Amino acid sequence: MAHDHARFGSLLHAYGRADDTPGHLAALAGGDPQARDAALGHLWSAVMHQGTPWTVTPPAAAAVAALLADPRPAAPLDAGLRSNLLSFLAAVAESAQPGFDAAELAAMAHPPGRDVDAALAAGEADDEEIWADEELANALYARALLGCREVVPTLLAAAVPLLGDPDATVRAAAAHAVTACATALGPGADPGPLGARLSTAASTAGPDERAALVLAMGELGLAPREYLDDPHPGVRACAALAPALADDPAATAELLAALDDPKATEHWFARRPPQLRGHIRFALVAAAVDRVERPERLLPAALAIAAHAGPHTARSDWGPLLHAIFAPGSVPGTGGALSAAQRHYLHALVANDNLWDPRNGSVGLVFRDAGLPHDREACRAMATAAAPPDPGPR
* Closest by CA position to 362, among listed 318, 326, 330: 318
* Closest by CA position to 322, among listed 330, 147, 253, 171: 330
With 0-12 CB in 10 A as exposed, 13-18 as middle and 19+ as buried, what is 354? Answer: middle
Residue 394 has pLDDT above 80, yes or no: no
Q: Is the model more confident about 193 or about 281? A: 281
Whole-number Å distance between alpha carbons of 136 and 139: 5
The CA distances from residue 361 to 312, 314, 356, in Å, are 11, 10, 10
pLDDT at 198: 95
For residues 8-26, give the mean pLDDT: 91
Q: Is the model more confident about 156 or about 387? A: 156
Rg over CA atoms, the chain: 24
- Mean pLDDT score of the chain: 90
Cβ contact 330:324 at 8 Å: yes
For the chain, the residue count is 394
Residue 162 has pLDDT above 80, yes or no: yes
Residue 124 has pLDDT above 60, yes or no: no
- For residues 335, 338, 339, 345, the Cα torsion angle rounded to the nearest 10 degrees is 180
In DSSP terms, 48 is beta-bridged to 53
- Burial profile 320-350: b = 16 or more Cβ within 10 angstroms, e = fewer: bbbbbbbeeebbeeeeeebbbbbbbbbbbbb
Q: Is the model more confident about 327 or about 24? A: 24
- Burial profile 195-224: b = 16 or more Cβ within 10 angstroms, e = fewer: bebbbebbeebebbbbbbbbbbbbbbebbb
123 Ramachandran zone, left/alpha/beta (phi>0; psi -120 to 50): left
Cβ contact 18:9 at 8 Å: yes
For residues 321-331, give the mean pLDDT: 79
pLDDT at 152: 96
pLDDT at 134: 85
Residue 390 has pLDDT above 70, yes or no: no
Residue 393 has pLDDT above 60, yes or no: no
pTM of the model: 0.88
CA dihedral sign, ordered 211, 212, 213, 216: positive
Kind and range of the H or E element at 8?
helix 5-9
Whole-number Å distance between alpha carbons of 69 and 156: 11
Whole-number Å distance between alpha carbons of 233 and 212: 13
Residue 200 has pLDDT above 90, yes or no: yes
Whole-number Å distance between alpha carbons of 146 and 92: 11
Residues 6+ apart with CB under 8 A from 292: 252, 256, 298, 324
Kind and range of the H or E element at 140?
helix 134-159
pLDDT at 271: 93
Residue 98 has pLDDT above 80, yes or no: no
Of 37-41, 52-56, 135-139, 190-194, which range is least confident? Answer: 190-194
The 8-class DSSP code of residue 12 comes to E
Cβ contact 173:81 at 8 Å: no
Q: What are phi and psi of 329, to 5 degrees?
A: 80, 0
Residue 342 has pLDDT above 90, yes or no: yes
Confidence category of residue 4, pLDDT binned at 50, 70, 90: low
pLDDT at 133: 81
Confidence category of residue 389, pLDDT binned at 50, 70, 90: low
Of 57-66, 104-113, 349-358, which range is least confident? Answer: 104-113
How many CA atoms does the CB half-sphere of 86 hold within 13 Å? 31
Residue 329 has pLDDT above 70, yes or no: no
pLDDT at 297: 96
Whole-number Å distance between alpha carbons of 224 and 243: 10
Confidence category of residue 130, pLDDT binned at 50, 70, 90: confident
Q: Is the model more confident about 2 or about 214? A: 214
Distance between alpha carbon 80 and the CA centroid of its chain, in Å? 20
Residues 6+ apart with CB under 8 A from 224: 199, 214, 217, 218, 239, 242, 245
Q: Is the model more confident about 2 or about 91? A: 91
pLDDT at 331: 41
Range from 30-34, 71-75, 282-286, 327-331 that averages highest in pLDDT? 282-286
Neighbours of 303 (CB within 10 A): 19
Confidence category of residue 2, pLDDT binned at 50, 70, 90: very low
Q: Is the model more confident about 209 or about 186? A: 209
